[in-house]
Amino acid sequence: MQAPAPGLVLFDIDGTLLRRAGPHHREALVSAVRSITGIETTTENVPVQGMLDRDIVEQMLRNAGASPALIRRSMPLVVARAQRIYARTCPDLRRRVCPGARMLLYRLWRRGVPAGLVTGNLTRIGWKKMERAGLRPYLRFGAFAELAKDRAGLVRIALRYARGQGWIDGQTRVALVGDHPNDIGAARANRIRAVAVATGLAGAEELAAHSPDVLVPDMRVLTMEMLLGL
């Protein structure tokens, strides 16, 4: 059996690896809801940052007056349709990569440190963003919105997968890099290192109030020691 890797780093996508990626993601959710239910919805008045896509869709439908039964019945179809739509409409995102993100992923790859995703995006949406941003080769796996009820659950899934691959053991240093208080909370819930980057909508002061292990303006200043103590 292979020896565990020097560490493991998990990344959020929106506001962390990418920013200002355009309206295509939200439009895919709105279009999918309309296609499946016939209901016109919007992401306005839905605090989408830090939320899982399924929760965003549920809130959109609630705001439009849909019944709990309709939401429950239509959700699997909406989730599937939204991913198909986004796979067709996702733009080139190479210029939307956050400062320092590409180089950090490259450095982790060179050091043999596995990198993965923990994101509120649905699976095909998340991977399509990484593909169109040119980041897909650096990321080995991911935990996505439809796999758990909350972000802490997604981290648990990612850690379980990494253990199953033999990449980590009980001594491996693991970090979660994110731009939202929910990312910090998910790291805390799983007793891993919380690394906050102020590249999303949450400012440095808001992030600092949640006491991450590391807080930086962007990934250009992140070192291996700050990430993993390496």
Residue 124 lies in a domain: yes
- Number of structural domains (the chain) is 2
Q: Residue 211: what pLDDT?
A: 95
Those residues of the chain that have pLDDT short of 70 are 1-2, 230
Q: Are residues 37 and 80 in the same domain?
A: yes
One-letter-per-residue 3-state SS of the chain = CCCCCCEEEEECCECCCECCCCCHHHHHHHHHHHHHHCCCCCCCCCCCCCCCHHHHHHHHHHHCCCCHHHHHHHHHHHHHHHHHHHHHHCCCCHHHECCCHHHHHHHHHHHCCCEEEECCCCHHHHHHHHHHHCCHHHCCEEECHHHCCCHHHHHHHHHHHHHHCCCCCCCCEEEEEECCHHHHHHHHHCCCEEEEECCCCCCHHHHHCCCCCEEECCHHHCCHHHHHCC
Q: Are residues 178 and 122 in the same domain?
A: yes
pLDDT at 1: 52
Q: Are residues 171 and 202 in the same domain?
A: yes
Which of 89, 105, 126 is the last residue before a domain boundary? 89
Q: Is residue 69 a part of any domain in this protein?
A: yes
In this prediction, residue 21 carries a pLDDT of 75
Residues 99, 186: one domain?
A: yes
Q: What confidence score (pLDDT) does residue 2 get?
A: 63
Q: Is residue 44 part of a domain?
A: yes
pLDDT of amino acid 169 = 85
The pLDDT assigned to 14 comes to 94
How high is the pLDDT of residue 124? 96
**pLDDT given for residue 37 in this prediction:** 94
Q: Which residue segment(s) compose the domain that 71 sits in?
A: 24-89
CATH code of 197's domain: 3.40.50.1000
Give residue 219's pLDDT: 95
| Residue 20 pLDDT | 83
171 and 215 fall within a common domain: yes
